[in-house]
Amino acid sequence: MESEKEALISDQPPIDRHRRSDGAPNPAFRFVVNTFFATLLVLGFQLGMRSVVWRVSNDVSSHCPHRLTYPGEKISWTPCGAIDDHELECATIDVPMDHFNKSNNARGKAFSIPLTRLRGKNATQNLLLNPGGPGGSGTEFISRRGAQLSAIVGENFHLLGFDPRGINKSRPLASCYPDFETRRRLSPVRSKKLVEDSGELFAWTANLVQACADNMGEHGAYINTPQTAADMNDILDAVGQDDMYYWGFSYGTLLGQTYATMFSDRTKRVIIDGVASQFDWYEETLDNEAIQDTDSVFEGFVDECIKAGPEKCALASLAKTKEALSEKLVSEIENLRDNPISVYINSTVYGIVDYWKVWHQVVFISLYRPAQWYATAEKLDSLLRGNATDIFLQIYAQENPFDTEEDAERFVTLNDGKSGPAPWPQDRGEAVSMMQSFFNQSLFADVYYPFYVSKRAWTAVPRTHGYVPRRGVKTAHPLLILSTTYDPVCPLISARGANAAFEGSRLVELKGYGHCSLAVPSLCITHYVRDFLLEGKLPDENARCDADGSPYFAKPDEGDKVTALAQFSDPEDRKIHLAQVKLAREVQFRWKF
């Protein structure tokens, strides 16, 4: 069988003109993390950052010899389609494996970084984007969501998506298995019951982390956020741009904060949206902030459901108050722990619906997107009435045994953070109980269980960075920070923390529920974003935006256009609103956009 890496390397097709993807289905979860480490690397930063080996993706050229070059840029591009009459162009650059110690790059050790650019019609600057993860593909973000992003940002910027080192089409790819067959054979593990499954999970994880290290070799240690931040300078240099223009979502806010701390003099227009705490990420064992508001979003779900009534929320007829509905949902789903339901479609499609799947893969994930609440409520209602077919089909569609994104996420997160056994009790039982007291703070936190077990076991890959997040960081231009009021994984408190850490930065709170500003349509947010990007204009302190329309329990595909027409007389505003509605609706199974 062809090796997984080879198969992926040889396969780097240009993006289809009309490519559509509704997101990588996947059962796994975003592993929020936190972590720490302290070292002394900062001196290395200045040394390594300009040492890029330019390379343009050559496999595309054979069937498409036409090359595009632009004055001031150091690379050439290959046309790779169009989205809504905006041209797309693709290129690949190589970046050194280690930006901060050049002697580690002997024999040309490098990562390739694929780029996809959607050209703005009146643009001179490139806006770099990161969709989150870690593990999310920026090139795929452009091809999947470029139309809506460009409607929001406008014509004055090229949108530039890149696959961070180790991720998606970047090579070498962060992977813990040498090929698909090995992954299929060795990746399943039982990890649903905290105490009962801990023996198997801990033992399995000890092998996994060793396999991650062996499979990646030396490159594995350099898949981390400070290196990726330095890669972003190489991307800017390649397109001949001095100033960083950047909009990062979710994990992309960690990348943005890291960049702004390390390269504050190039930080001209950095937006972080759906903020994670970099202090937790790099310096803490457990991620305390990340779970802060998860349950509040769940409360929002039941509250809005009761308010919407049975017409719009199928679950509303099951209880009279939000408290009663919440209790009913929690106990009925809890009951699936010991009584999973079998669903049989036919001899190739069948499976079981259990607590872990319903609670984490359906309920938790839908907290990211209030626009999904209507559909989630319908499925939960059927389940509670004894029909698990629809919920099973959703879970089934999300499962993807060939997914490597989780590996990428593991490398970045565990390499960044305070990984390894030191802060944990030696004894497995005690380690589990330390995790458990953390999980007990939220109805959903045990979703991170397998993740913390691998964080504790992560010793085979050495930490190579010494980035330390700081407070009082002065950047060339202050940051714009966006957050919803209640974000299930990146709470407002973390946005406030970033606001306090970066001098002069301003925070805009989007009143509502969901992950990142894109979860809720709001023209007000778009105006702040555009004014900031174009003119560097910052909002007043304590700026807040309202959501447009009725984002909760609206029936899908009903009334979008009517709402937009009624609410917005300006055709540009209408276009933005429709793009936002579409983004908010997107089904997404991972912690990214």
Ligand X SMILES: *[C@@H]1O[C@H](CO)[C@@H](O)[C@H](O)[C@H]1NC(C)=O
Q: Provide the minimum distance between the beta carbon of 509 and ligand X in the complex, in angstroms, as a whole number.
A: 28
Pick between residue 523 and residue 533 the one whose CB is nearest to ligand X: 533
Angstrom distance (rounded) from CA 378 to CA 228: 41
How many Cα neighbours within 13 Å face the side chain of 387? 6
- Which among 226-234, 275-283, 385-393, 571-579 is the span making contact with ligand X, rule CB under 6 A? 385-393
Decide: is 24 part of the binding site for ligand X (CB under 6 A): yes
Q: Provide the minimum distance between the beta carbon of 546 and ligand X in the complex, in angstroms, as a whole number.
A: 26
Please give the distance of CA 302 from its chain centroid, rounded to a whole number.
Answer: 25
Nearest to 126 by CA among 234, 248, 236: 236
Angstrom distance (rounded) from CA 560 to CA 562: 5
Among positions 103, 426, 542, 569, the unique one binding ligand X when judged by CB under 6 A: 103
Pick between residue 446 and residue 509 the one whose CB is nearest to ligand X: 446
3 state DSSP class of 289: coil
Pick between residue 103 and residue 331 the one whose CB is nearest to ligand X: 103
Is residue 528 within 8 Å of residue 539, measured between CB atoms?
A: yes
Q: Provide the minimum distance between the beta carbon of 499 and ligand X in the complex, in angstroms, as a whole number.
A: 29
Quick note: the x/- pattern for ligand X over 337-376, rule CB under 6 A, is --------xxxxx---------------------------
Among positions 116, 228, 366, 404, the unique one binding ligand X when judged by CB under 6 A: 404
Q: Provide the minimum distance between the beta carbon of 436 and ligand X in the complex, in angstroms, as a whole number.
A: 4
Decide: is 51 part of the binding site for ligand X (CB under 6 A): no
Q: Provide the minimum distance between the beta carbon of 541 and ligand X in the complex, in angstroms, as a whole number.
A: 28
Q: Provide the minimum distance between the beta carbon of 566 and ligand X in the complex, in angstroms, as a whole number.
A: 27
Decide: is 442 part of the binding site for ligand X (CB under 6 A): no
- Which among 98-106, 292-300, 556-564, 575-583 is the span making contact with ligand X, rule CB under 6 A? 98-106
Among positions 112, 116, 168, 285, the unique one binding ligand X when judged by CB under 6 A: 168
Nearest to 505 by CA among 524, 528, 534: 528
- Beta bridge mates, 143: none
Among positions 76, 210, 288, 436, the unique one binding ligand X when judged by CB under 6 A: 436
Cis peptide before 188 (omega within 30 of 0): no
DSSP state of 191: -
Decide: is 122 part of the binding site for ligand X (CB under 6 A): yes
Q: How far is CA 473 from CA 264, 279, 505, 537, 544, in A?
A: 8, 14, 10, 19, 24
List strands edge to edge, sheet with 125-130.
78-83, 86-96, 110-118, 157-162, 125-130, 244-249, 267-273, 480-486, 506-513, 543-545
Q: Provide the minimum distance between the beta carbon of 339 and ligand X in the complex, in angstroms, as a whole number.
A: 18
Pick between residue 21 and residue 69 the one whose CB is nearest to ligand X: 21
Angstrom distance (rounded) from CA 432 to CA 580: 42
Q: Provide the minimum distance between the beta carbon of 292 and ligand X in the complex, in angstroms, as a whole number.
A: 18
CB within 8 A of 570, min separation 6: which ones? none
Pick between residue 303 and residue 403 the one whose CB is nearest to ligand X: 403
Pick between residue 350 and residue 503 the one whose CB is nearest to ligand X: 350
Angstrom distance (rounded) from CA 459 to CA 450: 16
Among positions 2, 7, 16, 21, the unique one binding ligand X when judged by CB under 6 A: 21
What is the CA angle 301-304-310, rounded to 5? 105
Is residue 481 within 8 Å of residue 506, measured between CB atoms?
A: yes
Decide: is 437 part of the binding site for ligand X (CB under 6 A): yes
- Which among 216-224, 276-284, 329-337, 434-442 is the span making contact with ligand X, rule CB under 6 A? 434-442
Decide: is 12 part of the binding site for ligand X (CB under 6 A): no
Among positions 237, 273, 289, 405, the unique one binding ligand X when judged by CB under 6 A: 405
Angstrom distance (rounded) from CA 219 to CA 94: 14
Decide: is 381 part of the binding site for ligand X (CB under 6 A): no
Decide: is 237 part of the binding site for ligand X (CB under 6 A): no
Q: Provide the minimum distance between the beta carbon of 166 and ligand X in the complex, in angstroms, as a whole number.
A: 10
Is residue 374 within 8 Å of residue 555, measured between CB atoms?
A: yes
Decide: is 8 part of the binding site for ligand X (CB under 6 A): yes
Is residue 245 within 8 Å of residue 154, measured between CB atoms?
A: no
Decide: is 433 part of the binding site for ligand X (CB under 6 A): yes
Total binding residues toward ligand X, as defined by CB under 6 A: 28
Cis peptide before 172 (omega within 30 of 0): yes
How many Cα neighbours within 13 Å face the side chain of 372? 22
Nearest to 511 by CA among 485, 490, 539, 548: 485
Pick between residue 149 and residue 495 the one whose CB is nearest to ligand X: 149
Q: Provide the minimum distance between the beta carbon of 395 and ligand X in the complex, in angstroms, as a whole number.
A: 13
Decide: is 389 part of the binding site for ligand X (CB under 6 A): yes
Decide: is 101 part of the binding site for ligand X (CB under 6 A): yes
Pick between residue 68 and residue 194 the one whose CB is nearest to ligand X: 194
Q: How far is CA 162 from CA 27, 63, 159, 280, in A?
A: 24, 22, 10, 26
Binding residues for ligand X, rule: CB under 6 A, are 8, 21, 24, 101, 103-104, 122, 137, 140, 155-156, 168, 173, 345-349, 382, 387, 389-390, 404-405, 433, 436-437, 440
